[in-house]
């Protein structure tokens, strides 16, 4: 037999080839070729293993999501599946609380529901979105939530697009105060863009009949909300914020955001402690979610930050202030949230957790 | 039992689809994760959704079918990355479902991962696909089916793919 081709030798590494093997026994040169191919195959395998995902999404949750989508696309009832019913009964209100924190403009209402008066500290709760009847990041879910639970939300400033300004000094002028600036390490990346968000004032009047009707219509009969909420108006005020983006290559940007704490006006006659307890006692709520919310002690001054499973968080100290470090599941994207003298700060990007913390601690205050 | 029978049978419909899903979700996710990073879960869901809604012909090798669809969907997603989302949106994505968070490849900070992906991206696409699929454990018959090549050519193509990968990887600063 003539010397086999590289292709045949390569195939030999993955399975038997009696002729080629017989040839190798008598051919030193081909044995060396085979070993060379084997070593290269091994090196490629080692290199490719760097792309191994750090975790695989839980298969049961993934299956549930696919079923959910399949049922929607095939025209079945979105809520017809056995395993979603308990979660629907779980109460759209708490789902709204979580989703709304993440989704503007509904976060306004969520602050109201949570009864945050002023943010002084942070707590993270882990959210398994597969347990929620609506996908919080899904536009359809957002509309459904808005329609079913929140009703009309009246915002004073419907145009919430941030305004681009030329510099941090100009952002300070717009906001009427001097701003904190990033330390040398971040500033050295080069300032890419600065934005000022518009102040937002949103009011929300509870219409219990409407909410109850929506809950009943969606199959959540039996869920009853506190009567004292009916007709009450909550108002949320979100002051202007500034966002500075550092880095110019589009791949290694770092965002530094700051703004005064939002606050809400709770109407007279509403005891938010009781309301909160009532909401958390709605039958069927995911127990883990309720437990995490109940563990938030100073809940009127605590911003509850929902993070998906797979992400992680821990409390940190930023120059003596309480803060929260949040990492995505790869650990490659990190964000630090902290407050100082009534101002909230967020700094994050493609940084290691240590770099993010060091950067947050190097911020210079006016 | 054919795939269609398994998926479409009225007896235990969910169980049958579920069993296919449970058997192959992990490997399809890993394959897409190597290709796409954090968008993998989203695309993997698309693949299984297609299996549910438009199953392959009776008698098909559904593992190969899943990889074929995953490869096509993954490449489509790579092509659609022209409009990259801003970092700000990706940070916001932290608070959203992990299936919706920003594409990992775009936020890669791991040098090694970036080198490996960059090497794959500059390779002949067929070679890159073969390398990833073989790494996932597909046999030569499945590789031929998924990539539309002859089974007898797989050894040659793999040898070339590995050689090209090593050249590109070294050029990206990788070490062997």
Please write the tens of the pLDDT for every residue from B143-162. 999 889 999 999 999 999 99
Average pLDDT over residues A219-248: 72
What are the chain B neighbours of A9 within 8 Å (beta carbons)? 155, 159
Chain B residues closer than 8 Å to A122 by CB: none
CA A306 – CA A286 distance, rounded (Å): 14
> Quick one: what percent of chain B has pLDDT higher than 70?
73
What is the DSSP code (8-state) at residue A265? Answer: E
What is the interface pTM, i.e. ipTM, of the complex?
Answer: 0.73
pLDDT of A148 higher than 60: no
Shortest Cα–Cα distance, B68 to chain A (Å): 19
Q: Provide φ and ψ at A202, rounded to 5°.
A: -130, 135
* Predicted pLDDT of residue B151: 93
What confidence category does residue A33 fall into, taking pLDDT thresholds of 50, 70 and 90?
very high
Residue of A341, A200, A340 whose CA lies nearest to A264: A200
For chain B, give every domain's residue range. 1-107, 110-176
Write down the residue that tokens 């002690």 correspond to: A297
Q: How is B22-84 classified by DSSP, letter by letter?
A: HHHHHHHHHHHHHHHSTTHHHHHHHHHHHHHHSPPPTT--HHHHHHHHHHHHHHHHHHGGGSP
Which chain B residues have a beta carbon less than 8 Å from that of A141?
none
Tokens of A333: 């994207």
Segment among A41-55, A98-112, A301-315, B106-120 with least mean pLDDT: A98-112
* Between A290 and A102, the higher pLDDT residue: A290
pLDDT at B70: 93
Task: Identify which of A36-50, A65-79, A85-99 has the greatest average pLDDT.
Answer: A36-50
Helical pair A92-102 and A272-280, crossing angle rounded to 10 deg: 110
pLDDT of B21 strictly over 50: yes
Q: Is the alpha carbon torsion for B31, B34, B36, B37 positive or negative?
A: positive
Residue A186's pLDDT band, with cuts at 50, 70 and 90, is confident
A287 by DSSP, 3-state: which? helix
Residue A94, pLDDT > 50, answer no
Residue A113 pLDDT greater than 80, yes or no: no
* Contact residues for B106 (Cβ-Cβ < 8 A; gap 6+): A251, B37, B81, B84, B85, B90
Q: What average pLDDT does the segment A194-202 reach?
A: 76
Distance (Å, rounded) from C-alpha B73 to C-alpha A67?
A: 19
- Does position B128 have pLDDT exceeding 60, yes or no? yes
Asked if the model's pLDDT at residue A212 lies above 90, the reply is no
Instruction: Using an 8 Å CB-CB cutoff, list chain A residues near B110.
Output: 50, 332
Mean pLDDT, all residues of chain A: 70
Span A324-340, mean pLDDT?
A: 82
Instruction: Please tell me which residue of chain B has the smallest CA distance to A352.
Output: B109
Closest Cβ opposite residue A51 in set B90, B106, B113: B113
Task: Please give the C-alpha separations between residue A240 and each of A105, A314, A358, B167, in angstroms, as whole numbers.
Answer: 15, 27, 26, 52
Which range (A19-33, A163-177, A206-220) has the least confidence?
Answer: A206-220
Q: Are A351 and A254 in contact (CB under 8 A)?
A: yes
Residue A82 CB partners (closer than 8 Å, separation 6+): none
d(C-alpha A333, C-alpha A317), whole Å: 19
Residue B17 CA to residue A25 CA, distance in Å, equals 49
- Please say if the pLDDT value at position B91 is more than 80: no
Mutation to test the A interface, candidates B99, B129, B137, most A Cβ within 10 Å: B99
| Residue with the larger pLDDT of the pair A201 and A244 | A244
CATH number, domain B110-176: 1.10.10
Distance CA B55, CA B72 (A): 16
Given a cut of 60, whether residue B14 has pLDDT beyond it is no
Domains B1-107 and B110-176 share a fold: no
For chain A, give every domain's residue range: 6-51, 59-361
pLDDT at A21 over 60: yes
Is pLDDT of B131 > 60? yes
DSSP lists the bridge partners of residue A263 as A237
- Extract the tokens encoding A114: 């949570």
B10 pLDDT higher than 70: no
Nearest CA among A10, A31, A25, A45 for reference residue B152: A10
Of A142, A11, A131, A148, nearest in space to A93 by CA? A148
Q: Which residue of A has its CA nearest to B29?
A: A56
Whether the per-residue pLDDT at B44 is higher than 90: the answer is yes
Extract the tokens encoding A322.
Answer: 């309480």
What is the C-alpha to C-alpha distance for residues B107 and B31, in angstroms, rounded to an integer? 19
Instruction: Tell me which range, A95-104, A202-211, A353-362, B57-66, is most confidently predicted by mean pLDDT.
Output: A353-362
- In sequence order, the 6+-apart residues with CB closer than 8 A to the CB of A138 are B100
Predicted confidence band of residue A279 (pLDDT cuts 50, 70, 90): low
Do A251 and A232 contact (CB within 8 A), yes or no?
no
Banded model confidence at residue B28, pLDDT cuts 50, 70, 90: very high
SS3 A366: coil
Domain boundaries B1-107, corresponding CATH code: 1.10.1740.10
- Find out whether A175 and A258 touch, Cβ atoms under 8 Å: no
Q: Do B98 and A9 touch (CB under 8 A)?
A: no
Does B119 have pLDDT greater than 60? yes
What's the CA gap between A217 and A211, in Å, rounded?
10
End-to-end CA gap in chain A: 82
């Amino acid at each position: 037999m003539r010397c086999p081709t590289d292709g045949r030798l390569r195939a030999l590494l993955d399975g038997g080839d009696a002729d080629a093997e017989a040839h190798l026994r008598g051919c030193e040169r081909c044995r060396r070729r085979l070993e060379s191919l084997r070593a290269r195959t091994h090196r490629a395998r080692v290199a490719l293993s760097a792309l191994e995902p750090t975790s695989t999404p839980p298969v049961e949750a993934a299956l549930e999501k696919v079923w959910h989508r399949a049922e929607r696309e095939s025209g079945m009832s979105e809520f017809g599946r056995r395993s979603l019913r308990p979660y629907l009964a779980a109460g759209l209100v708490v789902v709204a609380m979580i989703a709304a924190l993440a989704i503007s403009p509904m976060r306004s209402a969520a602050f109201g529901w949570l009864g945050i008066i002023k943010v002084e500290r942070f707590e993270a709760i882990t959210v398994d979105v597969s347990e929620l009847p609506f996908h919080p990041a899904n536009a359809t879910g957002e509309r459904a939530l808005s329609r079913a639970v929140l009703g009309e939300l009246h915002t004073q400033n419907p145009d919430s697009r941030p305004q681009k300004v030329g510099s941090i000094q100009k952002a300070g002028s717009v906001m009427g105060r001097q701003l904190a600036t990033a330390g040398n390490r971040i500033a050295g990346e080069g300032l890419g863009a600065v934005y000022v968000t518009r102040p937002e004032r949103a009011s929300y009047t509870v219409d219990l009949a409407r909410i109850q009707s929506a809950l009943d219509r969606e199959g959540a009969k039996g869920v009853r909300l506190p009567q004292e909420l009916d007709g009450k108006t909550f108002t949320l005020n979100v002051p202007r914020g500034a966002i500075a983006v550092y880095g110019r290559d589009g791949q290694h940007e770092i965002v530094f955001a700051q703004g005064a704490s939002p606050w809400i006006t709770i109407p007279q006659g509403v005891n938010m402690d009781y309301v909160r307890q009532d909401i958390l006692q709605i039958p069927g709520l995911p127990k883990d979610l309720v437990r995490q919310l109940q563990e938030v002690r100073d809940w009127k001054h605590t911003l509850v930050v929902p993070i998906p499973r797979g992400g992680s968080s821990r409390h940190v100290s930023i120059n003596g202030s309480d803060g929260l470090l949040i990492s995505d599941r790869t650990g490659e994207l990190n964000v630090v949230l902290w407050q100082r003298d009534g101002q909230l700060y967020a700094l994050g990007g493609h940084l290691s957790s240590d770099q993010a913390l060091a950067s947050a601690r190097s911020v210079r205050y006016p | 039992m054919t795939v269609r029978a398994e998926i479409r049978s009225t007896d235990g419909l969910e169980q049958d689809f579920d069993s296919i899903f449970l058997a192959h979700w992990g490997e399809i996710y890993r394959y897409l994760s190597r290709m796409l990073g954090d968008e993998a879960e989203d695309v993997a869901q698309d693949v299984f959704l297609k299996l549910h809604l438009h199953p392959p012909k009776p008698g098909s090798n559904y593992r190969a079918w899943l990889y074929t669809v995953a490869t096509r969907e993954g490449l489509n997603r790579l092509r659609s990355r022209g409009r990259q989302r801003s970092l700000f949106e990706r940070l916001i994505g932290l608070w959203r479902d992990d299936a919706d968070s920003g594409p990992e490849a775009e936020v890669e900070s791991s040098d090694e991962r970036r080198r490996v992906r960059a090497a794959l991206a500059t390779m002949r696409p067929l070679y890159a696909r073969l390398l990833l699929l073989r790494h996932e454990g597909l046999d030569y018959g499945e590789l031929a089916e998924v990539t539309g090549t002859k089974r007898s050519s797989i050894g040659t193509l793999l040898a070339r793919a590995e050689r090209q990968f090593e050249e590109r990887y070294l050029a990206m600063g990788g070490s062997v």
